[in-house]
Amino acid sequence: MNKIQRLKKNGYRITKPREEILNVLSQRPLTVEEIHTSLQNKKISIDVTSIYRSLDLFKKLGLVTEIELGEGKKRYEFNDKNRHHHHVVCEDCGMISDISLAQEKKLIDSMKKNSKFKITSHSLEFSGLCQDCQC
Amino acid sequence: MNKIQRLKKNGYRITKPREEILNVLSQRPLTVEEIHTSLQNKKISIDVTSIYRSLDLFKKLGLVTEIELGEGKKRYEFNDKNRHHHHVVCEDCGMISDISLAQEKKLIDSMKKNSKFKITSHSLEFSGLCQDCQC
DNA sequence: TTGAATGCAAAGCTTTTGCAATTCA
DNA sequence: TGAATTGCAAAAGCTTTGCATTCAA
């Protein structure tokens, strides 16, 4: 089931702004400002308010994941359920890379087993210097 | 070496506001607002601006760690170097618990070895329901 | 047609900046 | 005393809210 069908199925309307925002959301986590600029570049005029509201809806439907990388603002990324991953951010240039960790499952499972909390989600973010910025 | 001495050693002044902020910072990560309220309760009047500026200094000196738990604001916690840990936050009541994970080192070491980035730090945050909120 | 969604303006929070007054060493 | 630090006011982000208008079904 694609993203548009998923909207419809839940009784929400397929609107131009929503379609455009979904089109622009890639694997790379974007800020609201970046989404807005990206749409403007495509000559699509959408108010930031509508972007915020659309993202809220997408979050609720599980279409989009909200992440914080310590920048003081949120980032949004299209939620590919088949590809659980985390991020590493370059302290110098801000470049963001995806990472998948083989040993991760063990760690999370053990956390779930041992914690008194009922764990529902986690975030693991790395910070460092990317290849270019190490020189 | 205690926190006050650490300030002095680096050529910074020991001032009333700085002392009071350090006194109030506990293991529990606090927001600037919480620090401010906590000081007011002790009849200590400090401007939030000064709190921000002191925290910036403490961060620079490695006395305090800044964390984000997805609340849209930052939290600050006194940095106990002997006790590396992470957090789990209750989605319902906001309660924050510390956690230490035995298997963590392996995961991080492998990340450091395999990543093209030069990893300098990481954050691992869990979200779920605390014991009280599970009922 | 009609409720849902959008745009615009305004406000709400958190955080930062500028500058004169104060304070520590 | 003199530079570092503080308080106050203002501004700068990011995000949310209210309301009239527009739009999808």
pLDDT in tens, B114-125: 899 999 989 999
B78, B98, B117: which is the final residue of a domain?
B78
B66 and B91 inside one domain: no
Predicted TM-score (pTM) of this structure: 0.88
Tell me: do B50 and B94 sit in the same domain: no
| Average pLDDT over every residue of B96-104 | 87
Mean pLDDT of B57-74: 91
Instruction: Give me the domain span that covers residue B31.
Output: 3-78
Whether the predicted pLDDT of B75 surpasses 60 = yes
Cα–Cα distance measured from residue A78 to residue A67, given in angstroms and rounded to the nearest whole number:
11
- Say whether both B34 and B94 belong to one domain: no
CATH number at residue A121: 3.30.1490.190
End position of a domain, from candidates B78, B102, B125: B78
Report the candidate in B114, B119, B74, B83 with the shortest Cα–Cα distance to residue B101: B83
Looking at residue A95, its pLDDT comes to 87
**Mean of the pLDDT values across residues A101-107?**
87
A72 & A91 share domain: no
Could you tell me which residues come within 8 angstroms of residue A87 by beta carbon, excluding any fewer than 6 positions away? A29, A67, A69, A96, A97, A98, A99, A125, A126
Which of B26, B12, B98, B89 lies closest to B57, judged by CA? B12
B70 and B90 together in one domain: no
Let me know whether A33 and A17 are in one domain.
yes
A58 and A102 assigned to the same domain: no
Quick check: A32 and A55 in contact, CB under 8 A? yes
- Let me know whether A124 and A61 are in one domain: no
Same-domain check for residues A95 and A47:
no
Assess whether B35 and B15 both reside in one domain.
yes
From the list A74, A90, A117, which residue is nearest B117 (CB)?
Answer: A90
Kindly state whether residues B91 and B69 are assigned to the same domain: no
Number of domains in chain B: 2
pLDDT category at A122 given cuts 50, 70, 90 is very high
Q: Which domain CATH number covers B68? A: 1.10.10.10
The whole-angstrom separation of Cα B14 and Cα B87 is 31
Together in a domain, A18 and A64: yes
Single-letter residue type at B26: S
Percentage of residues of chain A with pLDDT beyond 90? 51
Compute the nearest-CA separation of A119 from chain B (Å).
4
Which residues does nucleic strand C approach, with CB less than 7 A?
A: A 12-13, 15-18, 45-47, 49-50, 53-54, 72; B 8, 13-16, 31-33, 48-49, 52-53, 56, 72-74
Which one-letter DSSP state was computed for residue B132? G
Query: What pLDDT, on the 0 to 100 scale, is given for residue B1?
Result: 54
- From A36, A59, A78, give the residue that closes a domain: A78
Quick one: closest CA in B to A71, which residue? Answer: B68
Contact status, residue A61 vs residue A5, Cβ threshold 8 Å: no
